[in-house]
Amino acid sequence: MLTAFARAFKTPDLRKKLLFTLGIIVIYRIGTHIPIPGVDYRAVQVCIDQASTNTGLFGLVNMFSGGALLQITIFALGIMPYITASIILQLLTVVIPRLEALKKEGQAGTAKITQYTRYLTVALAILQGTGLVATARSGALFQRCQVANQIVPDQSIFTTVVMVITMTAGTATVMWLGELITDRGIGNGMSILMFISIAATFPSALWAIKEQGSLAGGWIEFGTVVAVGLVMIGLVVFVEQAQRRIPVQYAKRMIGRRSYGGTSTYIPLKVNQAGIIPVIFASSLLYIPALIAQFSGGSSDWKAWIERNLAQTDAPTHIVLYFFLIIFFAFFYVAISFNPEEVADNMKKYGGFIPGIRAGRPTAEYLSYVLNRITWPGSLYLGLIALVPTMALAGFGANQNFPFGGTSILIIVGVGLETVKQIESQLQQRNYEGFLR
């Protein structure tokens, strides 16, 4: 990886792209530290300094925003509205025929879907920004903080509208910065910003573990956590690169006196075909009842049960439901993102076949069979990666913002591998050595 970056900086075009990407990242990180109007910054810092404030309900969104959510800055919502909008549009593409037709139109249809994603992102930003402001005003954003009710001193309608507009504009700016990286930089812009947001929380989280440790000044706990994290990263890299290659043979066709086709290729089916989406779905679904219970007034048996069993990430009920929801959403997402019948029809149209399998329906059934078999270990792997930090590292005082949590590792490794592949592919295009020298 380091060799690829060193070679990239020696190439003028890639050096410009890398420097442009780094410049956008600097702007993004500056924006995560600028508070929005109407917020008492000192009261926010007092609440953040308390150890219990980082284990609240908003840990996942705070991780995706690089810690900007709890600081209530202009980029407080971060990239989360765009991620949610993209997932919603991807799911609706399977349900709504109009969106499915746009997806098949190629670049023009993709541009139209991207425009819909932008509109939905702004709408979700307004909704989430309103919810965040209401949560901050009620004091529920920070649990067990004495000055939580003083975060928003002026609770007038005008101040609330200004805060929501500021955060919505911040989300639109983040979306624009991500698109700039995609067009003029290296890698997928949204993924890069998500990578930076998560990586930015690593130093402070690791140092907090060292400060909370008791063995050799906390260095033993620190070293143990880093070692476990490296092992988990190695496991994630191994599984993310694993794939089942289904061989495909294309028959020869005679056109005049020339023969075409006759090539051999393969269909790569990844073990983790669903990626990080099942973990995000499962986390979001489990947050809904906890969020409802938090905003409901008074006390009741169902509210106490939810706070005891679902709102706590280390509760046995939460762990079991989280694990099975990840497995369910892994199969669900694979089913809507990969269509064996469509792949079999395309192969048959261009004269391709799997050796030993008849073209058409038998090919689709075979692809479905193989996909189901490799989705099982992929879904179990996602569930274990998401739960191992919660179960094994609880003794170090780790919370849901722990740097080596399953969601953060999956995103860090996935984005890192994809970015390095893009850099290497561009290096090969510019430094290709043919047989003529």
What is the C-alpha to C-alpha distance for residues 417 and 239, in angstroms, rounded to an integer?
Answer: 12
| CATH topology assigned to domain 202-404 | Preprotein translocase SecY subunit (1.10.3370)
Using DSSP's 3-state secondary structure scheme, residue 298 falls into: coil
Using DSSP's 3-state secondary structure scheme, residue 259 falls into: strand
Confidence of residue 435 (pLDDT cuts 50, 70, 90): very low
pLDDT for res 55: 47
What is the C-alpha to C-alpha distance for residues 201 and 197, in angstroms, rounded to an integer?
Answer: 7
26: amino acid identity, one letter: V
Using DSSP's 3-state secondary structure scheme, residue 414 falls into: helix
**What are 38's two structure tokens?**
């109407």
Query: Which of the listed ranges 6-20, 85-99, 317-331 does the model predict with the highest average pLDDT?
Result: 317-331
Q: Which of 176-185, 215-224, 339-348, 426-435 has the lowest mean pLDDT?
A: 426-435
pTM, entire model:
0.79
Query: Using CB atoms within 10 A of its CB, is residue 48 exposed (0-12), middle (13-18) or buried (19+)?
Result: middle
**Domain boundaries of the chain, sorted by first residue:** 1-200, 202-404
DSSP secondary structure code for residue 396 in this structure: G
What is the C-alpha to C-alpha distance for residues 215 and 225, in angstroms, rounded to an integer?
Answer: 13
| CATH topology assigned to domain 1-200 | Preprotein translocase SecY subunit (1.10.3370)
Give the DSSP letter string of 173-231.
HHHHHHHHHHHHSSS-HHHHHHHHHHHTTHHHHHHHHHHH--SGGGHHHHHHHHHHHHH
Q: Do domains 1-200 and 202-404 have the same CATH topology?
A: yes
Using DSSP's 3-state secondary structure scheme, residue 72 falls into: coil
pLDDT for res 131: 82
397: amino acid identity, one letter: G
Dihedral through CA 292, CA 320, CA 333, CA 90, nearest 10?
Answer: 20
Q: CA angle 180-184-186, nearest 5°?
A: 100
Q: What is the mean pLDDT of residues 147-169?
A: 85
* 204-247 pLDDT, tens digit each: 777 777 777 666 667 787 787 788 778 888 888 888 888 888 88
Q: Average pLDDT over the chain, rounded to whole?
A: 79
**What are 285's two structure tokens?**
């679904």
Residue with tokens 């300094």: 49
* 74-123 pLDDT, tens digit each: 888 888 888 888 888 887 887 888 888 888 787 888 888 889 999 999 99
